[in-house]
């Protein structure tokens, strides 16, 4: 595969159909080695299908996959010996204890060194409950056990689907630290998640998928700086002059009046360039009464995906924005707005 040197995971032109529904439509992922990679996308965008293809659970209809620098084709199951995965929800034998479940999971696939199971039970804070049957575990405990299962063979590449599911805040922080530590050790962590805030604090690189295709990929800081916004407030009578002054900073469509009456302007700019905005305005004799900058993944995500999956995907939550006819609730967003 061309251009995949130094990548822990790469897909090129990955395609997958379920009947007439196209789940993946030429997906090109490039996951560098030793990073936490956040794989984002709306419901039905193809994230889970991608995870399934990467773990050999389903077979792609076209395109190529490289795992740890080597092609991963149908029948190349040994490539997964260096990969740990938690796909969708964690799965266990309910009648076995947590420890026994890990032991039986370790009997499949790559051999696991002695003592590894106890080490992971300690790491996941499950040592005290390791002898309890999994059917008595909470969702968070099952999730931690699932992550322990993914770490059994000390993988070089870790594929995790919604790893924060069911974890309490302390658990999320611990998981985040653990994954960052693993990345620091040179391992690659690939996380599929809906929790944008979580990905924003954890990921080094993100890939955003919509309708089965990659719509943006790159280092998180870089993407956020490109998608950042600096908001500045000037006297309303000076809005036009401010727009003219800031025009040189503008890119394609960077400047917008967000509230002329209040004098607010938004400039699409890296957040660390707020100072430049202030300086240019001051140079023109316009003094800002308010200045704020922000960059968040949610805005980028919604910009790129429109909040939708694929046209024939599973859809998404519409939400309520106003009163429902005859009730105090609301109308579905979008529909309500259009009406």
Partner 1 sequence: MRLFFSGIRKLIRRPATWVTFGLLVGLLVLIVVAVGATANSNLGGPGGSGRGTAAKELVTFPGAYDRMLTFITGLGGLFAMVYGAAIAGSEWSWGTLKSAVARGESRVRYMLVSFASISLMIGIGVVVAFGISIVAAIVGAHLAGVSTSGLGDTSTLSHLPERLLKGWFAVAEEAGLGFTIATLARSQLAGIGAGIAFYFGESFASIFLPDIVKYMPFSVANAALATGSGSGFSGGAATVSLPADQALVLVALWLVGSLLITALFSDRVEITG
**Interface region with partner 1, contact rule CB under 8 A, candidates 78-86, 218-226, 230-238, 243-251:** 78-86
Residue from 295, 288, 284 nearest 265 by CA: 288
Backbone angles phi and psi of 5, in degrees to 5: -65, 140
Residue-wise burial string across 183-213, b where 16 or more C-beta atoms lie within 10 A, e elsewhere: beeebbbbbbbebbebbbebbbbbbbbbbbb
Smaller CB distance to partner 1: residue 93 or 287? 93
Residue from 32, 39, 73 nearest 56 by CA: 73
Report the 10 Å Cβ neighbour count for 162.
20
Length of the chain counted residue by residue: 339
**Interface region with partner 1, contact rule CB under 8 A, candidates 51-59, 136-144, 168-176, 231-239:** 51-59
Element (H, E) at 55: none
- Binding pattern for the stretch 127-166 against partner 1, x by CB under 8 A and - elsewhere: ----------------------x--xx-------------
Residues 85 and 146 sit within 8 Å (Cβ to Cβ): no
Q: How far apart are CA 256 and CA 157, in angstroms?
A: 43
| Contact residue for partner 1 among 91, 225, 308, 316 (CB under 8 A) | 91
Write out the two tokens for 241.
């002059």
- Residue 87 as a binder of partner 1 (CB under 8 A): the answer is yes
| Contact residue for partner 1 among 26, 63, 109, 307 (CB under 8 A) | 109
Backbone angles phi and psi of 294, in degrees to 5: -155, 155
- Residue 52 as a binder of partner 1 (CB under 8 A): the answer is yes
Query: How many residues bind partner 1, per CB under 8 A?
Result: 35
Query: Which CA distances in Å does 66 have to 144, 182, 186?
Result: 28, 21, 18
**Interface region with partner 1, contact rule CB under 8 A, candidates 92-100, 269-277, 298-306, 320-328:** 92-100
Smaller CB distance to partner 1: residue 88 or 296? 88
Smaller CB distance to partner 1: residue 14 or 80? 80
Minimum distance of partner 1 from residue 73's CB (angstroms): 14
Smaller CB distance to partner 1: residue 155 or 263? 155
| Contact residue for partner 1 among 70, 73, 77, 235 (CB under 8 A) | 77
Minimum distance of partner 1 from residue 49's CB (angstroms): 9
Minimum distance of partner 1 from residue 244's CB (angstroms): 57
Backbone angles phi and psi of 200, in degrees to 5: -60, -35
Which residue ranges make up the site for partner 1 (CB under 8 A)?
52, 55-59, 77-81, 83, 85, 87-96, 100, 103-105, 107-111, 149, 152-153
């Amino acid at each position: 595969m061309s251009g995949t040197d130094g990548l822990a995971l790469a897909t090129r032109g990955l395609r997958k159909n379920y009947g007439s529904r196209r789940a993946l439509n030429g997906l090109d992922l490039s996951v560098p080695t030793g990073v936490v990679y956040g794989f984002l996308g709306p419901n039905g965008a193809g994230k889970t299908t991608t995870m399934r293809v990467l773990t050999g659970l389903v077979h792609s209809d076209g395109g190529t996959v490289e795992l740890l620098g080597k092609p991963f084709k149908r029948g190349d199951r040994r490539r997964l010996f260096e990969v740990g995965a938690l796909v969708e929800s964690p799965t266990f034998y309910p009648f076995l204890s947590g420890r026994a479940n890990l032991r039986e999971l370790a009997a499949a696939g790559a051999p696991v060194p002695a003592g590894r199971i106890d080490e992971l039970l300690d790491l996941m804070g499950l040592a005290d409950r390791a002898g309890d049957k999994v059917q008595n575990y909470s969702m968070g405990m099952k999730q931690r056990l699932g992550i322990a299962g993914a770490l059994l063979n000390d993988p070089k590449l870790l594929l995790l689907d919604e790893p924060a599911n069911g974890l309490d805040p302390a658990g999320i922080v611990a998981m985040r630290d653990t994954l960052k530590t693993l990345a620091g050790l040179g391992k690659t962590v690939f996380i599929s998640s809906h929790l944008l805030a979580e990905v924003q604090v954890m990921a080094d690189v993100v890939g955003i998928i919509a309708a089965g295709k990659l719509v943006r990929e790159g280092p998180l800081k870089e993407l956020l700086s490109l998608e950042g916004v600096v908001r500045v407030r000037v006297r309303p009578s000076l809005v036009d002059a401010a727009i003219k002054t800031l025009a040189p900073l503008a890119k394609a469509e960077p400047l917008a009046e967000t509230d002329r009456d209040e004098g607010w302007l938004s400039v699409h700019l890296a957040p660390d360039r707020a100072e430049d905005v202030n300086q240019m305005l001051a140079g023109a004799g316009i003094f800002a009464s308010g200045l704020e900058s922000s960059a968040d993944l949610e805005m980028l995500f919604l910009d790129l995906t429109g909040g939708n999956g694929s046209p024939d995907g599973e859809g998404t939550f519409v939400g309520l924005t106003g009163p429902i006819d005859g009730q105090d609730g609301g109308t579905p967003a979008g529909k309500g707005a259009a009406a």
